[in-house]
Structure 1
Amino acid sequence: MEQILSNEDQVIIIVLIGVLMLLLMGVALLLFFFLSRKKITAKELEKKSLEINHQKEIIQSIIVTQEKERKRIAQDLHDDISSKLNVINLNANLLKDGELSPEEYTMVNDTILQATDKTLESARKIAHNLLPPILDKFGLKEAIEELADSYSNSKKIIIKYTLNYPKNYLSSNNELHVFRIVQELINNSVKHGQATQSTIKISCSNSKLLVTYSDNGVGFDMHNQNHQKGLGMKNIESRIALLKGNFNIKSEINNGFKIKVII
């Protein structure tokens, strides 16, 4: 009888140990899943935080660029328009007074006509910088061709281009973004890169737009942590982000600059 009880006690103990081990394993699994989920959540929050910070940088860059553009337009209006209108106003008052000889009348009238012509030309220039008429009328391909040819004709930089771009492939607003990106890249080549030649290539493949730009300028060390992005490059990055695209840059000191943009 005692032997039977002893065997039953052993069975009970074994069962209890088994149940306890199962409970421990269950707790361990719960802890594992909890900690794993916590890590995943932490990584997701970190990713969202980085995305939010990136969006903030884009918005900040856009705001800074807009303010810079407003100041430039205000300066152009003051220097090119207001000053010429003052000349017209002063000479118009001379005509109004009427105390002029025929020679003086002719000279004042000629001055007014010259100032008017210059004012109209300045107004066209400002309007062109705000929104190139050719971009609105004919599209991206023709606008970039005109931009590149104008730089080449000015001898500031020789630009070669291959533009395989279907008309209306992008919306008019997105075409403006691409145009501004190319315009900013050329400006950087001239002002900072000291380049004498550059190349623009645009092509479409697999529902993607590929823009490749390169120059023979001074370049920079991409591994140098002290290399800071200027406002122009930040503006380019902001526009690419708005287009939901990505880009890759290659550059070396004294070996030019190259960027590939995929939209």
Structure 2
Amino acid sequence: MTQLDQQVARRLTRFYVLALTVIAVLSLSGLLFIRRTLSDHYDDSRVVNVAGRQRMLSQRLTKLALLRTTEIPATDTASFAALLNTWNQSHRQLRDGMLRMEKEYLVRKSRRIDQMLTQLEPVFESMYRNLVRINTASTTPEQKKAALQTVLRAEPLFLEQMNAIVFRFDQESFERVRALEQIEWVLTVATLLILLIEGLLIFRPVVNHTKDVIRKLTESDEALRQSNAQLNVANTDLENANRQLVITQRELLWATEEKYRLQIAEENSRSAGLLEGQEEERRRFARELHDGIGQMLTGLKLHAEKLKAVPFPEPKHRERFEELCTLIYDVIQTTRQTSHNLMPSVLSDFGLGAALQLLAEQTTRSSGIPVSYEGETEGKRLTPAQEIGLYRIAQEALNNAIKHAEAQQITISWHRDGTQTTLTVEDDGKGFTQKAGPKKDRPPLPTNGLRNMHTRARLLNGELTITSKRKKGTNVTVYSTDTRNA
């Protein structure tokens, strides 16, 4: 751009900004005048309404005073005291120049209205005092009649003067609106003149300059089209490359997800096989304990029972023999308990509910901690895998509560709702904070047991949640679905 073009551009810019500024100032001034006048007119209308209401209230109060003095029954249920108070407050607010209703309204009064309100004041005070006297319970009937006569004499004068005040308020409000109209006409004419000057001194030079710019733009348009054609070819190639890249990313994502699903399936299969092998080994070892060592210990007990009839040379030998018999009995009971813990026969014979109830009773006897069972003991059976899985979770949770929780009460509950089963082991022990690291004065958390419980719950297509707070106890809950009936 040459120096002349720069000078013309700066001059046109100054003119244009100046013209727009003047137009904006005129427009904003008109808007402000209109908003202010509308607000004032709204206040004036409320003032006129309140002034007109004063006439109605004076007539209504006079009627009520007449009915009250003559003791004629009236259907008007309005409170005489409330109407009198409203009439008094409105009069004084009109006189003071500020109405206080839902908000404050300014009473714009001229000197003439102030004079009219001053002339009205004695009439109002006379009516108000006598109306108050009529409303007072201690006033005698003769005093009420005298007060009523005063009110009836003052009411026509009050209405006449109040009517003149209302019309005066309305007239002054109308005069302010007409003054606004004149100001609005002045602003409109000034705005039109500014627009005309802008069109002659700014718009036409701008149009000529724009024509020159458009000509130059037209000359460079062809070169731009050629560049765009080349860019379109490049964009097409880039889109094809991006499309191929997206396809490759999708295939890679699918392959990764498939690999992850296979890993999960393999892990579940490995875990299921490992747990199944553990359970099978437990069954075999439980049978060995029961059928092998258990039978041998039972035979040993029977032989010992036969030896009780044999006389002993010394009482000390008899005492040792009794201790030996007691030890044999304890070993038999321990062997049976161990065999039952490895694979309880009641689980396969009577189901999960009976096995959990027996587990609670045996744990109470062995540990001395009260363990209660709530739930079903008979009914439709679950699958063997579900029953042994839920039983092992309950057994592990109960073992953790006894070893680590220092609980005073443990509750095992198992409920079914259709295909949904819920197993809960809850204690009132010291609990633990799952996110905190182990401390020296606190035993380590049974992480292996928790991991085993989560694995068993996952293999049952269920969900295991552990809720625990320090000194608030621990709650272990398993939600599982009977896929056989789902």
Question: RMSD value over aligned CA atoms?
Answer: 4.7
C-alpha distance in 1, partners of 2:294/2:351?
29
3-state SS, counterpart of residue 192 of structure 1: helix
User: 2:378 matched to 1:163?
Assistant: no
C-alpha distance in 2, partners of 1:252/1:65?
33
Q: In structure 2, do the counterparts of structure 1 residues 228 and 148 end up closer, same or farther at CA, with 3 Å as the change threshold?
A: closer
Q: In structure 2, do the counterparts of structure 1 residues 64 and 231 end up closer, same or farther at CA, with 3 Å as the change threshold?
A: farther
Q: Which runs of 5+ in 1 are unaligned?
A: 1-9, 96-100
Q: Which residue of 2 aligns with 1:254?
A: 471
Q: In structure 2, do the counterparts of structure 1 residues 124 and 14 end up closer, same or farther at CA, with 3 Å as the change threshold?
A: closer
Q: In structure 2, do the counterparts of structure 1 residues 11 and 192 end up closer, same or farther at CA, with 3 Å as the change threshold?
A: closer
1:170 deviates by: 0.8
C-alpha distance in 1, partners of 2:310/2:428?
59
1:135 deviates by: 2.1
Residue 454 of structure 2 aligns to which amino acid in structure 1?
E
3-state SS, counterpart of residue 311 of structure 2: helix
Q: In structure 2, do the counterparts of structure 1 residues 255 and 122 end up closer, same or farther at CA, with 3 Å as the change threshold?
A: closer
Structure possessing the higher relative contact order (Cα contacts under 8 Å, 6 or more residues apart): 1
Larger helix percent: 2
Q: Which residue of 1 aligns with 2:242?
A: 28
C-alpha distance in 2, partners of 1:114/1:152?
22
- Find the partner of 2:457 among 234, 240, 245: 240
Q: How does 1:170-189 map to 2 (within 5 A)?
A: 170-189=382-401
1:189 deviates by: 0.7
1:154 deviates by: 4.8
Give aligned-pair identity as a percent. 21
1:36 deviates by: 4.2
Aligned length: 239
User: Contact 1:165–1:203 at 8 Å: present in 2 too?
Assistant: no
C-alpha distance in 1, partners of 2:435/2:310?
71
Q: Which residue of 1 aligns with 2:31?
A: none
* TM-score, normalised via structure 1 length: 0.67
Residue 234 of structure 1 aligns to which amino acid in structure 2?
R
Which structure has the larger Rg?
Answer: 2
Q: Which residue of 2 aligns with 1:4?
A: none
* TM-score, normalised via structure 2 length: 0.39
1:186 deviates by: 1.2
User: Contact 1:62–1:235 at 8 Å: present in 2 too?
Assistant: no
Residue 237 of structure 1 aligns to which amino acid in structure 2?
H
1:182 deviates by: 1.2
- Find the partner of 1:195 among 407, 425, 448: 407
Q: Which residue of 2 aligns with 1:137?
A: 349
User: 2:417 matched to 1:213?
Assistant: no
C-alpha distance in 2, partners of 1:200/1:25?
63
Q: In structure 2, do the counterparts of structure 1 residues 242 and 14 end up closer, same or farther at CA, with 3 Å as the change threshold?
A: closer
3-state SS, counterpart of residue 218 of structure 1: coil
3-state SS, counterpart of residue 136 of structure 1: helix
Q: Per-residue CA shift, 1:136-181, capped at 9, x if unaligned?
A: 3222111211221233345622123321466233123421222222
C-alpha distance in 2, partners of 1:56/1:127?
27
Q: In structure 2, do the counterparts of structure 1 residues 262 and 165 end up closer, same or farther at CA, with 3 Å as the change threshold?
A: farther
1:199 deviates by: 1.6
C-alpha distance in 2, partners of 1:236/1:85?
36
User: Contact 1:62–1:238 at 8 Å: present in 2 too?
Assistant: no
C-alpha distance in 1, partners of 2:267/2:277?
15
1:127 deviates by: 3.1
Q: In structure 2, do the counterparts of structure 1 residues 117 and 69 end up closer, same or farther at CA, with 3 Å as the change threshold?
A: same
User: 2:320 matched to 1:103?
Assistant: no
Q: Per-residue CA shift, 1:202-257, capped at 9, x if unaligned?
A: 11225111112211112111112556543332332232233222111111222211
Q: In structure 2, do the counterparts of structure 1 residues 15 and 113 end up closer, same or farther at CA, with 3 Å as the change threshold?
A: closer
